[in-house]
Structure 1
Amino acid sequence: MNDAPAIDPLPAADPLIDRYLAHVRVERRLAARTVDLYAIHLKTLCEKAAESGLPLARVQTAHVRRWMTQLHSAGREPRGIALVLSCWRSFYRWMGHERLVEANPVQDVRAPKAGRPLPKALAVDDAVRLAELHDANADPWAEARDRAIVELLYGCGLRVSELVGLDLVASKDARGWIDLDAGDAHVLGKGGKRRSVPVGSKAAEALRAWLAVRDDCAALPAARLRDPEGAVALFLGRNGNRFSAHSIWKQLKARSAKAGLNASVHPHMLRHSFASHVLQSSSDLRGVQELLGHANITTTQVYTRLDFQHLAKAYDAAHPRAQAKKDK
């Protein structure tokens, strides 16, 4: 995934969009990045409806099918079109609940089929090299934070939104927290679903090292007055505020280069690596599903393809018949 693109202002003629975005942000508690993407896709819907001279409440299934074809002809990938339709479908479902439309015009519209790409995961050696990296030239405070972040992303398979939502301690307002004594991370995943995942010894060690220096941030007292988030957040930036997903992307990219990795590592690649490596070691698909917080086992099954790919490479590298085939 890439960073969420910048959002242009939505057309002022449709306050319905603002109401819906407030609904998903406040009532459904969707992540800020997801709300930003919804805003982009709904802006597209507004533009398509305006081009056809239609108010949003009068859009029909035939219009949606035509706009989907236009997106496909313009080069939009099937997976991207599916995300757009999912957003539109959710919007019209909300309009139905508000009694603004009688039927959902997107309900039976499906995106073109596409081959399912394999998730990108690091080799085990590369993942360990990244996790064990210690940059002696870096600021010790930031180095302790960044090592703990890598250990949690790779050691627990957290999404970056789950990681940045972690607080120092449990509370009724906390999106997530770490219980080091119990060895558990409690996170708020997609769809507002909570789950607990074990925190391994290496991740716990890195977290304790970070917690020992966390409050040494010079900006923290001012940040506590300016923004309570900075007081309770587990991970901080130098400004004393909660560390952002965008900052984690940047730090991981720089850190992977320092570790000498060919891949430019991003947070979800570490989640993919976690899932692939646990599955290779345990073959426990249901267990990996629970650790990742997948609602459907088919989402987790993609990692079995990565596991098979790993075995195929090992076969090509080691089996005498595979070597004989190459020598011909």
Structure 2
Amino acid sequence: MINRERLEQFLSYLASQRLCSPHTLTAYRQDISRLASYLEGCDVPTWADFQRPQLEGWIADSRDAGLSIRSIQRQLSAVRRFYDWLGRFDEAGAHPTHGYQLKRIRQDLPQVLDVDLMQQLLDAPAPKAEKEALLWRRDKAILELFYSSGLRLAELAQLKLMDLDLSGGLITVLGKGRKTRVLPVGKMARTAITDWLSIRPQFVRAPSETWLFLNQRGTRLSERSIQMRLVHQAERIGLDRRLYPHLLRHSFASHLLESSHDLRAVQELLGHSDIRATQIYTHLDFQHLATVYDQAHPRAKQRKDETS
């Protein structure tokens, strides 16, 4: 019987030593538990007896279950890390995932809002209804902060008043892996946040509430609620795009890179530990430049006319 106690010990290690988020721990538990169930069904007695044929069978089983290549890659990553940890106890066996690679995924370019659409969104007039106008002042601060500082949804939802330094134009966020970074807050975002703070006391129900963004019950505005408010505001102004937090983060990164061409600075602002995660925006920038070239360069226009 597979020793599932090792999985619990591994998760405890990730939580206490690697400071992994609850979301990450849940994903690891799900992926490795699924492997354990598969191995038990194949009469594999221990973790060390897991070999390449079972690995290939498990992957085939995952595909049959409808998992995408990306999800299977995530599973493989979890198993590799688990077996690296098992190696400390000489229980990893041949470590069958070493050297095993799935077909490479084509990485689609991230979607972004162009500058004009972003201006349309952020400069939209307030609703006429008093209650909706009040909520718009909060939502506008959220939108401005997303676009100003490139925050992830979880980072923005967890902000507290003490994280904000309006006089210095800075905000401190807790990112992936519980890594802290200090980010600049632009002028328009500071103005919108100051406006929100002037009406925030109307939302407070408990004096001890320190979350930056509150719902109408006076508690923290949840991640799901933020997503829904973005959709609501996009629909209200007639934006013909689905609006979601990461679209604003992508737009922040793309627009900043187009203007600065400083990849390292954008990496730091986004909180990417690996610059390869940031480099996708260089491809997006190149795509934009190529379009401008085809539209503007005389020889490019001539070639295009000849082929049409």
Matched with 1:199 is 185
Counterpart position of 1:45: 35
The match for 1:124 is: 115
Partners of 2:21 and 2:178 within 8 A in 1: no
Using the TM superposition, give the Cα deviation of residue 27 of structure 1 relative to its aligned residue in structure 2, in angstroms: 4.6
Give the direction of change, closer, same or farther, for the CA distance of 1:185–1:260 in structure 2 (3 Å limit).
same
1:146 is matched by which residue type in structure 2?
D
Q: Report how far residue 22 of structure 1 moved.
A: 4.6
Residues 311 and 187 (structure 1), Cα distance of their counterparts in 2 relative to 1, 3 Å cut = same
- Find the residue that maps to 1:139 and give its secondary structure: helix
Question: What secondary structure does 1:187 align onto?
Answer: strand
Matched with 1:30 is 20
Contact 2:213 2:221 in 1 (8 A): yes
Shift in alpha-carbon separation, 1:237–1:50, aligned structure 2, 3 A: farther
Match of 2:275 in 1: 297
Question: Alignment partner of 1:232: what SS?
Answer: coil
Give the distance between the partners of 2:159 and 2:104, measured in 1 at CA.
Answer: 37
Q: Given the superposition, is the C-alpha separation of residues 123 and 199 from structure 1 closer, same or farther in structure 2, using an over 3 Å criterion?
A: same
**Per-residue Cα deviation, 1:268-325 (whole angstroms, up to 9, x for no partner):** 1111110100011111111111111112222211101111122233344445555553
Deviation of 1:251 (Å)? 1.6
1:253 maps to which residue? 231
Corresponding residue SS for 2:183: strand
For the pair 1:150 / 2:143, whether they are aligned, the reply is yes
Q: Give the one of 212, 215, 226 matched to 2:201.
A: 215
Listed as ranges, the matches of 1:89-238 within 5 Å are 89-97=80-88, 99=89, 101-103=91-93, 104-136=95-127, 137=129, 139-169=132-162, 177-217=163-203, 220-221=205-206, 231-238=209-216
Stretch moving more, 299-308 or 29-38 = 29-38
TM-score between the two structures when normalised by the length of structure 1: 0.80
Name the counterpart of 1:87: 78
Q: Is the Cα contact below 8 Å between 1:42 and 1:88 reproduced in 2?
A: yes
One-letter amino acid of the counterpart of residue 256, structure 2: V
String of CA shifts for 1:139-160, please: whole Å, max 9, x gaps.
Answer: 3442222111111111101111
CA distance, structure 1, for counterparts of residue 37 and residue 157 of structure 2: 34
Between the two proteins, the alignment pairs up a number of residues equal to 300
2:246 alignment counterpart: 268
Larger Rg: 2
Match of 1:7 in 2: none
The verdict on how the C-alpha distance between 1:102 and 1:182 changes in structure 2, with shifts beyond 3 A counting, is: same
Partner amino acid, structure 1, of 2:142: I
- When residues 86 and 317 of structure 1 are mapped into structure 2, their CA distance, relative to the original with a 3 A threshold, is same
CA deviations 1:26-59 (Å, max 9, x no partner) are 5533333333333432342233223223356245
Q: CA-to-partner distance for each residue in 1:100-148, whole Å, 9 max, x for gaps?
A: 7245443433332121211111111112222223441353442222111
Q: In the aligned structure 1, how far is the partner of 2:194 from the partner of 2:37? A: 51
Structure 2 residue ranges without an equivalent (≥5): none
- Identity level (%): 37
| Contact 1:141-1:214 at 8 Å conserved across structures | no
2:288 is aligned with 1:310 = yes
Task: For residues 205-254 of structure 1, give each alpha carbon's deviation from its aligned partner in whole angstroms, at most 9, with x where no partner exists.
Answer: 11111122223226x22xx7xxx7xx222122223322222222222122
Q: What runs of 5+ residues in structure 1 fail to find an aligned partner?
A: 1-12, 170-176
- Where 2:35 maps in the other structure, the secondary structure is helix
SS in 1 for 2:215: coil
- 2:18 and 2:213 map into 1 onto residues whose CA distance is 25
Distance verdict in 2 for CA 1:202–1:61, change over 3 Å? farther
RMSD: 2.7
